[in-house]
Amino acid sequence: MYLLNERFSLWCDFVEKEFLANGFLDLIKGGRINGATSNPSIFKSSFLTSPAYQESKKALEGKTPKEIYEALAIADIQQAAKVLLPQYKAGDDGFISIEVDPFLSNDAKGTIEEGKRLFNAIGMPNVMIKVPATKAGFEAMEALMGEGIHVNATLVFSPAQAKGCLDAFEAGVKACTKETPKGVISVFVSRFDRKLDSVLAQHAMAPFKVGVVNAMSVYRLVQERGLSHVRCLFASTGVKGEGVQSDYYVRALLFPNAINTAPLETLQSFLASGAKGAQEPLNEAQITAYFQEISNAGVVMDEVYESLMNEGLEAFHQAFRELLDALQ
């Protein structure tokens, strides 16, 4: 872990064949990161732009686009899982995540079947199956955990979603007869600020803050539930635009028992800064007061949560659709 005593972890939000064989190994051996995540947008970028996949794609000619995608993705996830396995065995995270087909986000049965199939096909114990935090997703999370499969709940924006994930994780573990699986609740951060900062500027409110305070709210909820097998993970922590340093969201959310998964450039910036020492989030009263200010500025957070969730799902749908079309 990046901060052992505080149980603060850094994971890399990037997967690509050549990187896994080189730079990723360096980060692992240096003890700077202890996990990784992937998503449809990351795979789209890697598979369509990196020359490292050309021979593999040629060998898969004649397969369906989804079969080609899964073969490439599974190979990368297996490679990452093998590198991370010593950390996993030592109890130092060591997880790599793979997401189910984004078009299954409202299909509980389909998500469960695909999650189990991917987990078994990869054949590594340190794989987390990524499931969007929809109503169907909650059902799938519970079922997968009940099978002893680690789960990464993704596209979490609201405290209500986080509560649904916590309930699902708790119920799944109670039904599990195998070794207790781990779960992370991935709350997205920067997208709030990209959506709201221009509105809040009209009320002389500071930018780059809504996402951080909302993440603090979810973090406190996860911590207060006290599930030993579940941690809060801060995602979407790359800075887009100007005004703050590129590792701003990592430094702002350096909390005990938390994880931050960040793009490679963001990670490198943070590691170069030498930042050490966890901090505490705002307390409940401070969080409530801030969101009252947001409300006074005309922002309805429930509407923002719904909008961001819909946009997040559509972004993953689009990336996956474009990837499959390109693999035709």
Say what the pLDDT of residue 18 is: 95
In a domain, 1, yes or no: no
In a domain, 3, yes or no: no
CATH of the domain at 100: 3.20.20.70
Report residue 93's pLDDT band, with 50, 70 and 90 as the boundaries: very high
Mean pLDDT of 288-308: 97
Stated pTM of the model: 0.96
Domain count, the chain: 1
Report residue 290's pLDDT band, with 50, 70 and 90 as the boundaries: very high
In a domain, 4, yes or no: no
The catalytic residues are: 130
Answer for the pair 156, 185: CB distance below 8 angstroms, yes or no.
Answer: yes
Taking 80 as the threshold, does the pLDDT of residue 276 lie above it? Answer: no
In a domain, 319, yes or no: yes
Q: Which residues pair with 260 in a beta bridge?
A: 10, 234
In a domain, 93, yes or no: yes
Q: Is 56 helix (H, G, I), strand (E, B) or coil?
A: helix
In a domain, 2, yes or no: no
Report residue 1's pLDDT band, with 50, 70 and 90 as the boundaries: confident
Q: Tokens in use for 200?
A: 């809040």
Show the domain range for 285.
Answer: 9-326
Q: Note the pLDDT tens digit of each residue in 169-222.
A: 999 999 999 999 999 999 999 999 999 999 999 999 999 999 999 999 999 999
Report residue 242's pLDDT band, with 50, 70 and 90 as the boundaries: confident
Using alpha carbons, list the distances in angstroms from residue 214 to 143, 209, 255, 292.
28, 9, 14, 12
In a domain, 309, yes or no: yes
